[in-house]
Structure 1
Amino acid sequence: MPFKTLLTVTGPGHGDDDLRLAAGLCEEVNAHLSVLVLMLAAPPSGGEYAAVVSPAWLEEREAEMEDLERRSSAVSKMLSQSRVSADLSSDYPEQSWADEVVGRRARYADLTVVGPEMLATHLLKQKVIAGGLFSSGKPILLVPKAAPVTLKPKCVVVAWDASLEASRAVRESLEILSAADEARIVMIDPIEDERHHGAEPGADVATYLSRHGVKVAVDRLPSSNHFIADVLRQHAIDTGAELMIMGAYGHSRLRERIFGGVTKSLIEEPGLPILMAR
């Protein structure tokens, strides 16, 4: 499907680089830009000395709300000078439901763009990515620092593990894939049986994509005792890919939280722009 609305999230401590990046992508595909300015509210004070620290906490919240208002004003001015159509909203949620706030906003966009400034944060990045992946039903685009980004790449790699999440990512990216000069389906240590990749790993997804006019190549790679995320990143470099497409969190959230995984590794060190869907 075409991307007609892109969402990006910014915070009071950010500059305008992520906004310019998202605006540039909007220009490229003739899309609308939606911006959410987000400030995580200071947690309420408590404990034996709550009566003493409560005024300080209230002052902190007032200061944060002023910061949020200043950042919103600055973003509004920047958007007014942009050549793309745009809308702006802001929110000041508690940390515990910030991802739901992001997810609700992302439901009205086709893609959430997470730029280098957001990726350099810690807690806010987690909330934005969690909201985009688990609470919106839409894909996200991770853009690391200094990585050229385009929604019209010539070479794309698809991290394929035959999962529901990978299938969703492919479906969300059909317009990108069909316009690319080359789409490489990459499988690491594929299992050849009907419950996994079938008798010929990659054949089914390649046939499906070719019917959509995608120029497909299939790469079956051994992990050779390396981390799967590292193999994917290196293969993307070796093939000159401008974008990676993958499903996110194929295992349960609890398992991923305990053991980490490919998704977590690529979020921490994308290496190149990555479109993720769940």
Structure 2
Amino acid sequence: MAFKTILAVIGPHMSDDDLKLAADLCDEIGAHLAVLAVAIAAPPPVGEYAAIVSEDWLKERQLDETLLKKRVTAVSAFLAGRALSADVSSEYPEVGGADERIGRRARYADITVIGPELLAGETLKGKVIEGALFSSGKPLLIVPSGSRATLKPKRVLVAWDARLEASRAVRESLEMLIGADQVRLVMVDPVEDEYHHGQEPGADAAAYLARHRVKVMIDRLPSSNHSIADVLRQHAIDIAADLMVMGAYGHSRLRERIFGGVTRSMLEEQSLPILMAR
């Protein structure tokens, strides 16, 4: 699909680096930039000390709200200096509901972008990722430090496991895949049967892409006692990929957290921009 609105989420203490990255992506494809400034509120005090600390808690909230307003004003000034269609809004949720609030805003964009500065954080990063993937129905683009952000990639690695999530990621990135010089449909230890990858792993997916004029090749790789995530990362380096496309959370978040998973590993260590969809 075409990306006409890009959502960038920023915190009150962040610089303009991630904002500039998102603005450059909008310039690249002629998209509207929606900026959401988010501060996560501390939960209200409870228990026997609540009365003592409540005044400090209220002061903290007032300070947070003041900083958030200042950040919105600064972002508005930044956007006014760019020849760019844009808007800015803010949210001040408590930690328990932050992902839902962010996800609700992301429903009105085509893709959410997370830049290196947000990735370097913890709480807000996690809430943006969960909100985008589980509460928006839209894809997420993760851009790690040291990589080049683009929505017009020349070489794309598609991590294909024949799951619904992978199919969704392909559909969401289809316009980029059509415009790429080379798309590698990559499977790690593919299973050859009708319930998994089919009698010829990747053939159906490649045929679907080829009908959309995607220049696609199939790579079937052995894991050789390495994790799937490590195999995908290394192959992306080997083919000089500009972007990886993959489905996110084929299992529940709880199972991924307990047992690990490709999504979790990719979120913890990125080597190139990754488009995820669920």
Shorter chain as denominator, the TM-score bin is over 0.9
Cα distance in 1, alignment partners of residues 14 and 127 from structure 2: 16
Unmatched 5+ residue regions in structure 1? none
* DSSP-derived class of the 1:244 partner: strand
Distance 1:83 1:126 in 2: 31
One-letter code aligned to 2:137: G
Q: Per-residue displacement from partner, 1:76-95 (whole Å, max 9, x unpaired)?
A: 11111112110000010111
Structure 2 counterpart of 1:13: 13
Question: In angstroms, what is the RMSD of aligned CA positions?
Answer: 0.6
Deviations 1:51-89 (CA, angstroms, capped at 9, x unpaired): 111111111111111111111111111111112110000
Map 1:93-132 to 2 at 5 A.
93-132=93-132
Deviation, structure 1 residue 114: 0.5
What's the CA shift for 1:256? 1.0
Classify the secondary structure of the residue corresponding to 2:205: helix
- Indicate the SS of the match to 2:71: helix
Q: Give secondary structure in 2 for the equivalent of 1:113.
A: strand
Q: What SS class does the counterpart of residue 59 from structure 1 fall into?
A: helix
Q: Secondary structure of the equivalent of 1:34?
A: strand
Q: In structure 2, what is the equivalent of residue 198 of structure 1?
A: 198
Give the 5 Å matches for 1:150-229.
150-229=150-229
Residue 26 of structure 2: aligned partner? 26
Aligned to 1:37: 37
Q: Deviations over 1:204-257 (max 9, x none)?
A: 100000000000100000111111111101100000100000000001222112
State which drifts further: 30-39 or 248-257. Answer: 248-257
Please give the alpha-carbon distance, in whole angstroms, between the structure 1 residues aligned to 2:257 and 2:133: 15
2:54 is aligned to: 54
Instruction: Report deviation, 1:175.
Output: 0.3
Runs of 4+ in structure 1 deviating by more than 2 angstroms, as ranges, are none
Distance between the aligned counterparts of 1:50 and 1:173, measured in 2? 49
Count of residue pairs the alignment pairs up? 278
Deviation at 1:127, TM superposition (A): 0.2
Give the aligned residue type for 1:129: I
- State the distance in 2 between where 1:53 and 1:112 align: 37
The 5 Å alignment of 1:248-259 reads: 248-259=248-259
The AA in structure 1 aligned to 2:129 is I
Aligned equivalents of 2:135, 2:82: Cα separation in 1: 29
Alignment-mate amino acid for residue 263 of structure 1? T
Identity of aligned residues (%): 67
Write the letter of the residue equivalent to 1:268.
Answer: E
Deviation of residue 271 (structure 1)? 0.6
- Counterpart amino acid of residue 49 in structure 2: Y
**What amino acid is aligned across from residue 39 of structure 1 in structure 2?**
A
Q: 2 CA distance for matches of 1:8 and 1:90?
A: 11
- What is aligned with 1:71? 71
Distance 1:84 1:223 in 2: 45
Deviations along 1:250-274, one digit per CA (max 9) or x if unpaired, are: 0122211211211011111111000
Give distance in 2, aligned partners of 1:96 and 1:20.
29
Long gaps (5+) in structure 2: none
Rounded to whole Å, the distance in 2 between the matches of 1:219 and 1:131 is: 32
Q: Distance in 2 between matches of 1:258 and 1:129?
A: 18
Alpha-carbon distance between aligned partners in 2 of 1:178 and 1:227, rounded to the nearest angstrom: 29
Q: Which amino acid aligns with 2:108?
A: Y
CA distance in 2: counterparts of 1:103 and 1:252, whole angstroms: 18
Tell me which moved more, 158-167 or 146-155: 146-155
Which digits, 9 at most, give the CA deviation of each residue in 1:141-188, with x for residues without a partner?
Answer: 000011011111110000000000000000001100011010000000
SS across alignment from 1:183: strand
The one-letter code sitting in structure 1 at the alignment partner of 2:72 is S
Distance (whole Å) between structure 1 residues aligned to residue 149 and residue 91 of structure 2: 28
Q: Which residue type is aligned with residue 62 of structure 2?
A: E
Residue 234 of structure 2 aligns with which residue?
234
Per-residue deviation, residues 78-137 of structure 1 (Å, max 9, x unmatched):
111112110000010111111011111100000000100110110100000000000000
Cα distance in 1 for residues equivalent to 2:107 and 2:117: 22
Provide the rounded CA distance (Å) in 1 between the counterparts of 2:96 and 2:259.
22
